[in-house]
Amino acid sequence: MKDVLWDLAAVFGPLSFGTIGGGSSAIADIHYQVVEVHSWLDETQFVEAFAVSRLAPGPGSLFVALLGWEIAGLPGALVATLALFLPTALMMYGVAAIWSRYRGATFLNAMELGLRPIAAGLILAAVFVLLQSLNGGWAARGLAFVSAAVLMRTRINPILLILSGAGLFLIYDTVLA
Amino acid sequence: MPAKLQIPPPTLLQLFMAFARIGLTSFGGGLSGWLLREFVETRQWIGREEFLNGLAVAQALPGINVTNMSIWIGYRLHGTIGSVIGVLGILLPATTLIILLGILFGTLTDVGPVQVALVGAAAAAVGLPMHLGVTMVLHLRRQVLPVAIMVISFLAVVWLHVPLLWVVIGLGSVSVTLEWVRLRRGKP
């Protein structure tokens, strides 16, 4: 048990600095570590935890709390969450404390602009990995694309969209069965 | 010019409750928007300018934007203890809830229809990062360099399984330096 907790901290701690432009950028690497390297969860468990995390309120990155919970119960949830949030939280705290000295500095703009394409690449990696993890074949993948298209065109509430996805699959399953 | 209203600073409990409320009621991401509404517009605890400065820092630094913002706002209002309360407020209640949801769905996965519904829910949920990804790609500067860096970071993670930390440090330092040089030369 202790070993698992240590491994969780060792996996999620470094990932903390990879969460640029939001937590989704770390999903591809989280998947690789949790499913492929450590075999803590299988593809289905992983993608289902992702779905639950998108249905829940709050920061989407609490996804890792859920993964930690499934891997090692309450201690797992605490360790995974702390490991992912604490390192960058301390960094932000440091900047908040010394901010007045660096107001409007060029390097902050450079940092924001420079990290943007990396964040974009990492989000695409997350999408790629999640699409591969989906079971339900091409119907599920097709639904993911439709869902993205709906989000681009409308201001639909994401919860409604996810529930509609669940409903559509229930109907699809009943009709085919 | 209207007289500036003197809003008394919130107590630590009020601060915690305000963050907890956002953590528990904001669905589907975009929490920074909720923070703006709650802290700047509705309660007027911090100024818009100060909020936007914080947002720029929160987005530039690694870390989850909304946690970074809760540290920023908490620090502005109550110093160190304020930033701790801010993070706890946004994370603690929401973490409890997500685990309860996980347990609920975990006990239900043996029920056939629930599993089918979860596959559908997961498929639709993948649309969220996909939408984000497309938006980010569309907002990228149409130049070789940003696009190349995007493609390299994608391949590094998906194909070569380079640890995320090294992608951000390695590729990030190159990309940030190049942007810095560009900004110094005064290019838009």
Nearest residue on chain A to B166, alpha-carbon basis? A18
Task: Looking at the structure, tell me whether residues B26 and B104 fall in a common domain.
Answer: yes
Domain of B151 in residue numbering reads as 121-188
Nearest residue on chain B to A89, alpha-carbon basis? B68
Task: Looking at the structure, tell me whether residues B76 and B165 fall in a common domain.
Answer: no
Per-residue model confidence as pLDDT tens digits over A99-114: 767 666 787 778 878 8
Task: Looking at the structure, tell me whether residues B44 and B65 fall in a common domain.
Answer: yes
Distance from the Cα of B63 to chain A's closest Cα (Å) equals: 5
Name the CA radius of gyration of chain B, rounded: 21
Task: Looking at the structure, tell me whether residues B105 and B150 fall in a common domain.
Answer: no
Task: Looking at the structure, tell me whether residues B93 and B153 fall in a common domain.
Answer: no
CB nearest A169 (choices: B23, B93, B120) = B120
Task: Looking at the structure, tell me whether residues B27 and B58 fall in a common domain.
Answer: yes
Task: Looking at the structure, tell me whether residues B131 and B78 fall in a common domain.
Answer: no
In a domain, B169, yes or no: yes
Put simply, whether A111 touches B (Cβ < 8 Å) is yes
Q: Does B130 contact A127 at a Cβ distance shorter than 8 Å?
A: yes
d(CA B85, CA B93): 12
Put simply, whether A175 touches B (Cβ < 8 Å) is no
Domain count, chain B: 2
Per-residue model confidence as pLDDT tens digits over B79-130: 999 999 999 999 999 999 999 988 888 888 777 888 888 889 989 988 988 9
Within 8 A of A146 by CB-CB distance, chain B residues are 127
Nearest residue on chain A to B64, alpha-carbon basis? A22
d(CA A136, CA A13): 33
Contact A76, B108 (CB under 8 A): no
Q: Who contacts B175 (Cβ-Cβ below 8 Å, separation ≥6)?
A: A114, A115, A117, A118, B145, B146, B149
Query: Would the CA dihedral through A169, A44, A162, A32 be positive or negative?
Result: negative
Per-residue model confidence as pLDDT tens digits over A12-50: 999 998 887 677 888 999 999 999 999 999 998 999 899
Final residue before a domain boundary, out of B78, B111, B144:
B111
Final residue before a domain boundary, out of B80, B111, B142:
B111
DSSP A70-133: HHHHHHHHHHHHHHHHHHHHHHHHHHHHHGGGSTT-HHHHHHHHHHHHHHHHHHHHHHHHHHHH
In a domain, B116, yes or no: no
Which residue in A67, A77, A80 sits closest to A40, CA to CA? A67
Which residue in B41, B30, B102 sits closest to B66, CA to CA? B30
Q: Does B27 contact A157 at a Cβ distance shorter than 8 Å?
A: yes
